[in-house]
Amino acid sequence: MRALTYHGHHDVRIETVDDPTIQQPDDIIVKVTTAGICGADLHLYRGKNSPMKLGDILGQEFIGEVVETGPEVTSVRKGDRVVVPSVIACGRCFFCKRGQHAACETTAGRDGGQSDRHIPPRAALFGFGHAHGAIPGGHAEYVRVPHGNVGPRPILDSLTDEQAIFLGSSLPASYQAAVEAGIGPGHSVAIFGAGPVGLLAAACARMLGAEQIFVIDHHPYRLAFAEKHYDAHTINFDEVDAPEQEIISRTAGRRGVDTVIDAVGFEAKGSTLETVLSKIKLEPGSSIALRQCLAAVRRGGHVSISGAYWGTTSNVALTEAFDRGVTLTMGQAHVHPYLSELQEHIAKGALQPEKIISHGMSLEEAAAGYLIFDRKEEECRKVILRP
């Protein structure tokens, strides 16, 4: 089959590789019909200390058709059109029973990688190399999906591929951030970062009834999109030195916003990051986006972190967070618990994630898709690939 493989820093290639096969009795094989390139894929693409090894297949967000099932698979059948969560969970462990699928402690195995506290690694992820279970990803014609009875979920007939593609990763990440923050009618929300997750978070906040939405980024075309589609107040941090002060000055009583969503995160020092963090004119490798988030939220408010943080994060303003009584939630999206309700929201038209797609390309053009998305060329918001 054809697949997008990793060859080093900023070097991904479409190659012919072996077709995946059933390895466990509850595996399925999915023929990918649509895949998305996510910000998390870019972390791997850019990273100088990537967990990827030569030839690893990328891609955490994909949907497709079940073409083969192991003998113990009962929840999906050949021919089913399914979304596959980026998080691979067993459905039976301590965490899965609590709906915390991203913490599944059985799937990453010895390649769990990043656990440094003598606790079990968190769940394996598709296409994340040797930090998360070494499971080949979905930027390919076919994918082996472990735990076929737990992860893959049939897609409602009324949803197009362009709508359903977001269900596997980026939409649950945005939705979890919004729901955990308790966003509701009349709330004020500030979203740092207008990449796919930030834009989808704005869509979720709007759906949940938020009244005032701020979006902070430095790409004018993305800010314009947020303004047009989510009626957001936008702040370009290339033009405004202290976005948090700008936000506060526009909230009732100068209290700050009820909720902040950090859809930027952190990239380890030495890797790229043309993002809010480094562009905000403070030292690279700091936790400044998070400090700005903590500075923009009101007393008793909520900061929800969906952007990935890797490595050591210093200088977080915990004194300020304590003083304000801030609630912090964060982490990889659990995906599985949200799939039914998100499909319903899309089917009703309450969420229209497909609007953020700016580029549709063939799998053969995937390397160009990564380049365009990474460089923010051609007003790129979201690239989808069709094998």
Tally of CB atoms within 10 A around 250: 15
Question: Applying CB under 5 A, which part among 55-63, 82-90, 139-147, 241-249 lies near Zn ion?
Answer: 82-90
* Nearer to Zn ion (CB atom), residue 107 or residue 272: 107
Whose CA is closest to 381, among 362, 353, 349? 353
State the pairing for strand pair 81-84/153-154. Answer: antiparallel
Q: Kind and range of the H or E element at 276? A: helix 276-279
> What's the closest the beta carbon of residue 57 comes to Zn ion, in angstroms?
23
> What's the closest the beta carbon of residue 101 comes to Zn ion, in angstroms?
7
87 forms part of the interface with Zn ion (CB under 5 A) = no
* Nearer to Zn ion (CB atom), residue 15 or residue 111: 111
What is the rounded distance in angstroms from the CA atom of residue 145 to the CA atom of residue 142? 10
Q: Give the one residue of 3, 28, 82, 90 binding Zn ion; rule: CB under 5 A.
A: 90
State the pairing for strand pair 87-88/124-125. Answer: antiparallel
* Nearer to Zn ion (CB atom), residue 96 or residue 201: 96
Q: Give the one residue of 104, 205, 261, 273 binding Zn ion; rule: CB under 5 A.
A: 104
* Nearer to Zn ion (CB atom), residue 169 or residue 292: 169
* Nearer to Zn ion (CB atom), residue 284 or residue 337: 337
Beta bridge partners of 3: 15, 140
What is the rounded distance in angstroms from the CA atom of residue 205 to the CA atom of residue 221? 20
Question: Applying CB under 5 A, which part among 48-56, 86-94, 256-264, 368-376 lies near Zn ion?
Answer: 86-94
Q: Give the one residue of 12, 73, 88, 93 binding Zn ion; rule: CB under 5 A.
A: 93
DSSP-derived letter for residue 149 is T
What is the rounded distance in angstroms from the CA atom of residue 304 to the CA atom of residue 313? 16
For residue 19 the two structure tokens come to 């077709």
> What's the closest the beta carbon of residue 85 comes to Zn ion, in angstroms?
12
* DSSP SS3 for 259: strand
Question: Applying CB under 5 A, which part among 104-112, 179-187, 302-310, 364-372 lies near Zn ion?
Answer: 104-112
In angstroms, what is the C-alpha Rg of the chain?
Answer: 20
* Nearer to Zn ion (CB atom), residue 90 or residue 295: 90
96 forms part of the interface with Zn ion (CB under 5 A) = yes
> What's the closest the beta carbon of residue 150 comes to Zn ion, in angstroms?
8
* Nearer to Zn ion (CB atom), residue 121 or residue 301: 121
151: phi then psi, degrees, rounded to nearest 5? -85, -60
> What's the closest the beta carbon of residue 92 comes to Zn ion, in angstroms?
6
> What's the closest the beta carbon of residue 104 comes to Zn ion, in angstroms?
3
CB 237 within 8 A of CB 218: yes
- The residues of the shown chain that bind Zn ion, judged by CB under 5 A, are 89-90, 93, 96, 104
